[in-house]
Structure 1
């Protein structure tokens, strides 16, 4: 399935940056490193699927006594192919760097990453090779009104669990990593709150000194064209065949699709094959994020991946550059008849009215494609 945005760079990165704060709040025993200002974290991924490659660069800091993680813009970011030295320059887009449209690695190729910050600091990765992906034999979906406990809601929440079947290749080490992206068709492409209205591409308050009636507290604006909201996985899912080499793997849970909305949803599940060190990195990150007790062990050293500063070998550089090949499957899930309430607030349509809102009265807004929206109907969408 072709797509535009990077796979998991937002929420997955948010999990890692949350980990920064957690590290700052713990008292680890013999830590390999601790939270401090100026720690650089690089999340970089290159794939054989078009649109799935990206780089994000952050630096830890402190503001008003709280830990912060700032995106570092203005960097020169390149993928460099081993052998012929071919370079792919990534362009800054929001809080990430993206390669040109159509870029995809070829299976078996070797690549490395180079990042040069605006202040001249340089970061490089080791050379990575993409392993052959293992195909997904089958995929199943099961709805559970109490699927998983979510701290933000302080309760178990409803959703669908996706499980996969696949045949593990015998006689070799295999490491698996799953991600997904989902598509829900939007009704409203813009909502303006706090007595503001949509004009010239943004929400603004006509009378900021005295907001209120006759304006309404919020206004909704329908989509000018078909538009889909995109969501990504916010958990790390990995698996090793250490104890299952060569066996048929059945009904392995790999993704939870929470009931944020009751709109029907299309899910594209990606199954990646990783190398041993990449698996070790993601498994460590999963353990730390899923279970805070992991912070009391020295395993955070694994989060010092394959990145380094060639001008300062003593600098800790968090994150890693990973390249991977994928096998993917799509599943369309009907949700409109589910009884449980959706997690997000159900917003009733409220349009501008003549006489109360300043002219010109506006009723719609563009889709504004980006990492979390697309105006291209996803392959597999059902009307």
Structure 2
């Protein structure tokens, strides 16, 4: 299963972003960097803001959530929308909060030590619908997990807004039916204690470096996220048709069909410039809500300390979606699926004299897995 947190370490020197002055960050330091994840839109029922400290080193980044902060969103300069703390630095907006087209939003938060931060004001702009979606199979052309895989390119048709200065971003997430729900490396799975069960080490299996995979006890879907930033300015298409826009590259994980949710965002110019910097530095980034490079400075400032480096971006974007049923019936002869276990073939525990084994494993709800049938699933 691919983790949607594409956390790579980027070594940057001086970075420019919109109205933000050049700021040099030495990522070889062990000093912490404040980082914000915030993606507000007009569609999702459950929206949140995450505050965390990043501790970069030469080879990795450690992420630690920030608790005990006061977090709020200011709508149109006066309406204060308070966020409630959840866990691990995540603060929830009120249930079913959605941005309003044309409204202005600003993030404001205060840490436990009194440090106060504000974002620039971001405006929610209307987004056109996706009119058509289609796909084609390609061989060894999809970059995934440092490999070039067979897969499908997905294209859309849409129409640019009639106003000038529109900016778009596309992301996708894929729902694939999963057969195996738990893998135990060097051990066996036991479904007690309920409800999750546990993997228990086995010295013999550890010595032989054996991993066992356990079938799901019911329906289960893996949720796989895009790993590229895909943006466009309407400078060449103002008020015209946007046709044959490549918006997704889907690895051929298995022969079974899947649902691909195409997400089309209308973003601000400042957000466009921010994501464009990510593309220029390195394309290995995830979705709007994922953590961009630790050294990339966004639109949030410490109001009492303008030289503090604050990472991340407060994004306000109108969104529309299209659930596309990818049949996967047009693959080339000889195509071999990569598999849903990161390229590893399943290795189920063999049945023996004990008829209670191997047990089935539960589908554990998470950001990357669900037992709820996704919209657009046709079977």
Which TM-score band (shorter chain)?
Answer: 0.7 to 0.9
* Cα contact 1:75–1:116 (8 A) shared by 2: no
Tell me what 1:307 maps to: 300
Please report how far the alpha carbon of residue 225 of structure 1 lies from its aligned counterpart in structure 2 after TM superposition.
Answer: 2.8
1:285 lines up with 2:278 in the alignment: yes
1:158 lines up with 2:150 in the alignment: yes
* Cα contact 1:175–1:239 (8 A) shared by 2: yes
* Cα contact 1:221–1:351 (8 A) shared by 2: no
CA distance in 1 between partners of 2:166 and 2:56 (Å): 40
SS in 2 for 1:219: strand
Q: Would the alpha carbon gap of residues 214 and 38 (structure 1) be closer, same or farther in structure 2, given more than 3 Å must change?
A: closer
Tell me what 1:295 maps to: none
CA distance in 2 between partners of 1:349 and 1:284 (Å): 44
- Give me the CA root mean square deviation: 3.3
Tell me what 2:63 maps to: 70
Q: Output aligned runs, 1:22-61, within 5 Å.
A: 22-23=10-11, 32-34=23-25, 35=27, 36=29, 37-51=31-45, 53-61=47-55
SS in 2 for 1:284: helix
Please report how far the alpha carbon of residue 240 of structure 1 lies from its aligned counterpart in structure 2 after TM superposition.
Answer: 0.5
Tell me what 2:169 maps to: 177
Please report how far the alpha carbon of residue 280 of structure 1 lies from its aligned counterpart in structure 2 after TM superposition.
Answer: 0.8
1:105 lines up with 2:99 in the alignment: yes
* Cα contact 1:130–1:324 (8 A) shared by 2: yes
Tell me what 2:375 maps to: 379
Is the deviation greater in 34-43 or in 81-90? 81-90
CA distance in 2 between partners of 1:121 and 1:180 (Å): 36
CA-to-aligned-CA distance 1:330-368 (integer Å, 9 cap, x gap): 111123774422222221433554449xxx746122212
Q: What TM-score do the two structures reach when normalised by structure 2?
A: 0.81
Tell me what 1:224 maps to: 217
Indicate which of 215, 236, 239 corresponds to 2:229.
236
CA distance in 2 between partners of 1:280 and 1:326 (Å): 18
1:363 lines up with 2:353 in the alignment: no
Tell me what 1:189 maps to: 181
Tell me what 1:297 maps to: none
Indicate which of 83, 86, 110 corresponds to 1:92.
86
CA distance in 2 between partners of 1:169 and 1:337 (Å): 34
Tell me what 1:133 maps to: 127
CA distance in 1 between partners of 2:66 and 2:256 (Å): 36
CA distance in 1 between partners of 2:300 and 2:32 (Å): 16
Q: Would the alpha carbon gap of residues 246 and 319 (structure 1) be closer, same or farther in structure 2, given more than 3 Å must change?
A: same
Please report how far the alpha carbon of residue 376 of structure 1 lies from its aligned counterpart in structure 2 after TM superposition.
Answer: 1.4
SS in 1 for 2:245: strand
Please report how far the alpha carbon of residue 180 of structure 1 lies from its aligned counterpart in structure 2 after TM superposition.
Answer: 1.1
* Cα contact 2:170–2:264 (8 A) shared by 1: yes
Please report how far the alpha carbon of residue 84 of structure 1 lies from its aligned counterpart in structure 2 after TM superposition.
Answer: 4.3
SS in 1 for 2:376: coil
Higher helix share: 1
Q: Would the alpha carbon gap of residues 221 and 22 (structure 1) be closer, same or farther in structure 2, given more than 3 Å must change?
A: same
For structure 2, the residue ranges without an aligned partner over 5 or more in a row are 285-292
Please report how far the alpha carbon of residue 191 of structure 1 lies from its aligned counterpart in structure 2 after TM superposition.
Answer: 1.9
Please report how far the alpha carbon of residue 58 of structure 1 lies from its aligned counterpart in structure 2 after TM superposition.
Answer: 3.5
Q: Would the alpha carbon gap of residues 193 and 158 (structure 1) be closer, same or farther in structure 2, given more than 3 Å must change?
A: same
CA distance in 2 between partners of 1:328 and 1:28 (Å): 33
1:316 lines up with 2:315 in the alignment: no
Please report how far the alpha carbon of residue 90 of structure 1 lies from its aligned counterpart in structure 2 after TM superposition.
Answer: 4.3
CA-to-aligned-CA distance 1:301-339 (integer Å, 9 cap, x gap): x94221011232220112210111112111111237744
CA-to-aligned-CA distance 1:227-256 (integer Å, 9 cap, x gap): 211111111000001122222121011211
CA distance in 1 between partners of 2:328 and 2:86 (Å): 36
For structure 1, the residue ranges without an aligned partner over 5 or more in a row are 1-7, 292-299
